[in-house]
């Protein structure tokens, strides 16, 4: 348990980095879609999407998941601390699935820059915000 607070600090920093990537990547998809006829722009934004996904989102996601798992392993009593931890973990699972969907959308947009609409990606961009709200409320307030 001596390292628990260090792991917790790393977990929070990883989560912040992961959320930043999940907030920005769909915004890049909006630009990708709305400038689908500008080949030069698409080349640049595709590189940005790739780098954000592979070099920030994926490592931050794994750092968050692994540090969270380490905290649960060190303190398994968290599972008996209330329903909040189960809802939090469910929301994290949805974030994981959301990131997989972003990787899929990146692949689709590279092949078909006219896929979906800018409005779709703007709405899709709200998903991680809602999940983050649930996660933070569960961790801080522990309402049940």
The gap between the terminal CA atoms of the chain, to the nearest Å, is 25
The CA radius of gyration of the chain, in Å to the nearest whole number, is 17
pLDDT for res 21: 98
Across the range 85-109, mean pLDDT stands at: 98
Secondary element (H or E) of residue 38: none
State pLDDT tens for residues 6-27: 999 999 999 999 999 999 999 9
State pLDDT tens for residues 34-70: 999 999 999 999 999 999 999 999 999 999 999 999 9
CA–CA gap between residue 144 and residue 134 (Å, rounded)? 13
Secondary structure letter of residue 79 according to DSSP: G
Helix pair 83-111, 4-34: axis angle to 10 deg: 30
CA–CA gap between residue 23 and residue 28 (Å, rounded)? 10
Residues of the chain with pLDDT > 90, as a percent, come to 99
Neighbours of 77 (CB within 10 A): 8
Q: Band of the pLDDT at 1, cuts 50, 70, 90?
A: confident
Whether the full predicted model's pTM is greater than 0.75, yes or no, is yes
State pLDDT tens for residues 117-127: 999 999 999 99
């Amino acid at each position: 348990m001596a390292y628990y607070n260090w792991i917790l600090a790393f977990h929070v920093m990883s989560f912040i980095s992961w959320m930043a990537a999940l907030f920005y990547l769909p915004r890049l998809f909006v630009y990708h879609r709305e400038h689908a006829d500008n080949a030069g722009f698409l080349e640049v934004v595709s590189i940005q999407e790739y780098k954000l996904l592979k070099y920030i989102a994926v490592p931050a996601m794994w750092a968050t998941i692994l540090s969270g798992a380490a905290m649960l392993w060190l303190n398994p009593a968290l599972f008996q601390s209330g329903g909040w931890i189960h809802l939090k973990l469910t929301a994290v699972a949805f974030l994981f699935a959301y990131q997989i969907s972003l990787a899929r959308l990146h692949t689709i947009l590279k092949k078909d820059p006219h896929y979906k609409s800018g409005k779709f990606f703007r709405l899709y961009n709200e998903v991680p915000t809602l999940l983050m709200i649930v996660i933070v409320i569960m961790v801080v307030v522990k309402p049940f």
